[in-house]
Structure 1
């Protein structure tokens, strides 16, 4: 969300909040989820940080860039394994440490050769385009059973503060591990956070934090990247060809 600093914008925002109060105060969960889905899935770019646990190991995966995955930077850590990826169009590039390469199947010798350098994925390998389609991910969330519960008449809406910003938190259960949706508290709410949600991407409960809606830079392909097949050869199909997703 663009920070509004002018007096006119401040007055306009104040008028909108007064209008909400006049109409009955806090918006309904149904209205908030509907508006958040519309504004967030129509955005051109965003950043999302995903934090969860895979086999008991804390795993983080971050994607920055186009919501359709056409231009994206990705950073992943799992234990000692870490990687940085770029998706430019239909081509992916990957730079990672030896722990990462060995984790996905490279032998110790190849892992040392691959360590810390940019590699270009094999063009004929589906794993060479591991883009995260954020729009699809959010659409699936809102259309899931969890998303529908958050939009139901039984869902609760609370005024909260998230990272110093005014937000609404929507929940359909008081359980500690219940799915929650946090959105900006303004006239066009956007997703700030989704808590305790298991998506098709993670297959495990994770927290998703969003920021920089419509304001992420465009990325370029790294210079000097060599085909990963020059090191791994036929091993590329195992997922070592540039996949940066979980």
Structure 2
């Protein structure tokens, strides 16, 4: 696999198109100054910048591993943006999201992945299950697959519920080596029969250097919450050590996934 160090473009949001109300954090379709449409994730919503950090890390790790993820971009929201918005809830959201947000390229015409309609091959299913165990992503269930089919190809979206250790920072080092118990509810677990092969392949790709390059994408302004201890560099280092430790201890979540699958089938 050819490796290119990750880089994200920065766009300015020039038009709020429509809210996507199926999400609790009120993401929206918005237009950037490059004339493309994006699904905009707001720093002022729900879990705040931590959801954006999880989205950034999860999406770029998935991309590094060869899975399809819409392009991620940093999206700047001007203080004047949204003043004419009539909906007070949306107006508040825009006001608290001034500055740097995150957006995904909008896959126009994409449809939600339905496991009844589309069956994935064992290798792809195993790759996605392994990824979500690594990221502790609780949000890829039959109820909410967070996958789209676009031009007959599968795309992964919405990793904001990943890395839930960072909502408390408590015992992050212990959490890094724990099995991922929610894997039993993963929508693709029944097809994931190649987890051993994927584990070998993905652990070789996810070197310390490549993980560090992804973690270094996190902007300082997303790591300066006064309610948290530590400098941006120190908090960025926790993400790095959590992920590298989790890769080294992948056998723990691998065995749990295999055990859960054996019970399921």
TM-score range (shorter-chain normalised) is: under 0.3
Structure number, greater radius of gyration: 1
**TM-score (norm: length of structure 1):** 0.24
Which structure is richer in relative contact order (CA contacts within 8 A, separation 6 or more)?
A: 1
Q: Which protein is richer in strand relative to its size? A: 1
Q: Which protein is richer in helix relative to its size? A: 2
